[in-house]
Amino acid sequence: MTVSKRKFKAEVNQILDLMIHSLYSHKEIFLRELISNASDAIDKARYLALTDTNVNPGGDEWQIELIPDEAAGTLTVRDNGIGLTLDEAAESLGTIAHSGTKEFLKLLESREVKDNPELIGQFGVGFYSAFMVADQVVVVSRRAGAPAEQAVRWKSQADGSYTIEEVTKEGRGTDVILHLKEETKQYLKEWELRNVVKQYSDFIEYPVVMEVTRSKPDPDNEEKQVETTELETLNSRKAIWLKDKSEITEEEYHEFYKHISHDYTAPARTIHYKAEGTTEFSALLYLPKQRPFNIYYQDYKVGPTLYVRRVQIMDHCEAMLPPYLRFVKGVVESADLPLNVSREILQDNKIVNVIKKSITKKVLDTLAEMKKNEPDAYIEFYGEFGRVLKEGVHHDFERKEAIAELLLFETTKTEPGKKISLADYVARMPAEQKEIYYMTGPDRATAESSPYLEVFKEKGVEVILATDDIDDLIISQLGPYQEKEFQSAIKGDLDLGDTQKEEKQKEYGDLLALMQEQLKEQVSAVRVSGRLKDSAVCLVAGEHDLDPQMAKMFRAMGQEVPQGQRSLEVNPGHPLIAKMQELFAADAKSERLKEYVELLYDQALLLEGDRPRDPVAFARSLSKLMAETTEN
Cβ–Cβ < 8 Å for 622, 599:
yes
Contact predicate 494/530, CB 8 Å: yes
Select the more confidently predicted residue: 106 or 445.
445
**Which pLDDT does position 151 carry in this prediction?**
96
Asked whether 272 and 286 are in contact (CB, 8 A), the reply is no
Among the listed residues 250, 248, 205, 251, the one whose alpha carbon sits nearest the alpha carbon of residue 62 = 205
Number of domains in the chain: 4
CA dihedral (40, 311, 79, 253) in degrees, to 10, reads: 60
Choose among 510, 508, 564, 517: nearest CA to 536. 508
The pLDDT, as a whole number, for residue 99 is 42
| Same domain for 62 and 176 | yes
Query: 3-class SS at 281?
Result: strand
What pairs with residue 411 in β-bridges?
464
Q: Give the closest residue to 443 by CA, choosing from 425, 416, 422, 414.
A: 416
CB 592 within 8 A of CB 561: no
Q: Give yes or no: residues 171 and 75 share one domain.
A: yes
Decide: 75 and 336 in contact? Cβ < 8 Å. no
> In terms of domains, do 216 and 361 share one?
no
The residue among 353, 293, 347, 264 whose CA lies nearest residue 33 is: 264
In the predicted structure, residue 123 carries a pLDDT above the cut 50: no
The mean pLDDT of the chain is: 86
Q: How far is CA 237 from CA 35, 39, 207, 256, 419, in A?
A: 13, 12, 6, 12, 44
Q: Are 264 and 227 in contact (CB under 8 A)?
A: no
209-263 pLDDT, tens digit per residue, is 999 988 888 777 777 888 888 999 999 887 889 889 998 999 889 988 987 887 8
The SS3 assignment for 223 reads strand
Which of 546, 505, 541, 550 has the alpha carbon at shortest distance from 523?
Answer: 541
Domain for residue 262, yes or no?
Answer: yes
pLDDT the model gives residue 129: 83
Higher pLDDT, 531 or 79: 79
Can you name the residues that pair with 232 across neighbouring β-strands? 210
Q: Does the structure show a pLDDT above 90 at 159?
A: no
At residue 340, the pLDDT reads 64
**pLDDT of 489-508, one tens digit each?**
888 777 776 667 888 889 99
For the beta carbon of residue 411, count every other beta carbon within 10 angstroms.
Answer: 20
Q: How confident is the model at residue 562 (pLDDT cuts 50, 70, 90)?
A: low
Of 97 and 95, the structure prediction assigns the larger pLDDT to: 95
What pLDDT does 499 receive? 66
Confidence of residue 180 (pLDDT cuts 50, 70, 90): very high
Task: Report how far residue 1's alpha carbon sits from residue 485's, in angstroms, rounded to the nearest whole number.
Answer: 74
Q: What is the mean pLDDT of residues 480-487?
A: 94
Q: Are residues 227 and 244 in the same domain?
A: no
In the chain, what percentage of residues exceed pLDDT 70?
Answer: 88
Longest CA span, the chain: 127
Band of residue 116 on the pLDDT scale cut at 50, 70, 90: very low
474, part of any domain: yes
**Residue at a domain's end among 215, 233, 251:** 233
Q: What is the pLDDT of residue 64?
A: 97
Taking the C-alpha atoms of 514, 519, 520 and 524 in order, what is their torsion angle to the nearest 10 degrees?
-100
Lowest mean pLDDT among 29-33, 264-268, 308-312, 556-560: 556-560
Q: Cβ distance 607 to 451 under 8 Å? A: yes
Phi, psi values for residue 290, rounded to 5° = -115, 140
Query: Is residue 32 a contact partner of residue 119, using CB atoms and an 8 Å limit?
Result: no
Instruction: Report which of 484, 475, 487, 486 is spatially closest to residue 407, judged by C-alpha positions.
Output: 475
Residue 338 is classified by DSSP as -
* CB count in 10 Å sphere of residue 615: 10
Q: Is residue 501 part of a domain?
A: no
The CB-side HSE value for 53 (13 A sphere, CA atoms) comes to 2
Confidence of residue 16 (pLDDT cuts 50, 70, 90): confident
573 and 607 housed in the same domain = yes
Query: Which one is predicted more confidently, 245 or 8?
Result: 245
Cα distances (Å, whole numbers) of residue 438 to 432, 441, 463, 488: 17, 10, 5, 5
Q: Which CATH number belongs to the domain containing residue 599 in this structure?
A: 1.20.120.790
Phi–psi pair at 561, nearest 5 degrees: -115, 120
Of 440 and 312, the one with more pLDDT: 440
Helix or strand run (H / E) with residue 165: strand 161-167
What integer is the mean pLDDT of 101-123? 50
pLDDT at 437: 95
Task: Give SS3 for 122.
Answer: helix
Q: Is 313:307 a contact under the CB 8 Å cutoff?
A: yes
How high is the pLDDT of residue 20? 67
CA dist 474 and 481 (Å) reads 13
Side chain identity at residue 487, one-letter code: Q
pLDDT for 551 equals: 66
**Final residue before a domain boundary, out of 203, 233, 263:** 233
Over residues 570-582, the mean pLDDT reads 91
| 532 falls within a domain | yes
Least confident window among 344-358, 366-380, 571-585: 344-358
Between residues 417 and 8, which one has the greater pLDDT? Answer: 417
Do 244 and 228 reside in the same domain of the chain?
A: no
Asked whether residue 483 falls in the same domain as residue 607, the answer is no
pLDDT at position 117 is 43
The verdict on 47 and 177 lying in the same domain is yes
Least confident of 27-31, 38-42, 137-141, 221-225: 221-225
- Whether 57 is in a domain gets the answer yes
Please tell me the predicted confidence (pLDDT) of residue 120.
46
Report the CATH number at residue 426. 3.40.50.11260
- Based on the domain organization, do 249 and 220 belong to the same domain? no
Residue 396 pLDDT class (50, 70, 90 cuts): very high
Give the list of residues 6+ apart from residue 376 with CB closer than 8 angstroms, or none.
Answer: none
Task: From 205, 233, 261, give the residue that closes a domain.
Answer: 233
Decide if 325 contacts 310 (C-beta within 8 A).
no
pLDDT band at 115 (very low <50, low <70, confident <90, very high): very low
In this predicted structure, the answer to whether residue 428 has a pLDDT above a threshold of 70 is yes
Q: How far, CA to CA in Å, does 94 sit from each of 140, 179, 250? A: 15, 19, 38
Asked if residue 550 is part of any domain, the answer here is no
The HSE-up count of residue 92 (CA atoms within 13 Å, CB side) is: 16
Mean pLDDT in residue range 182-190: 95
Q: Residue 484 belongs to what domain range?
A: 407-488
15 and 34 co-located in one domain: yes
Please give the backbone phi and psi of residue 241, each rounded to the nearest 5 degrees, phi first. Answer: -75, -15
Both 282 and 352 in a single domain?
yes
Average pLDDT over residues 23-40: 80
Residues 6+ apart with CB under 8 A from 389: 324, 325, 367, 382, 403, 406, 407
List, for residues 365-387, the tens digit of each pLDDT value: 999 999 999 999 999 999 999 99
Report the pLDDT value the prediction gives residue 511, as an integer from 0 to 100. Answer: 93
CATH label of the domain that carries residue 277: 3.30.230.80
Q: Are residues 185 and 43 in the same domain?
A: yes
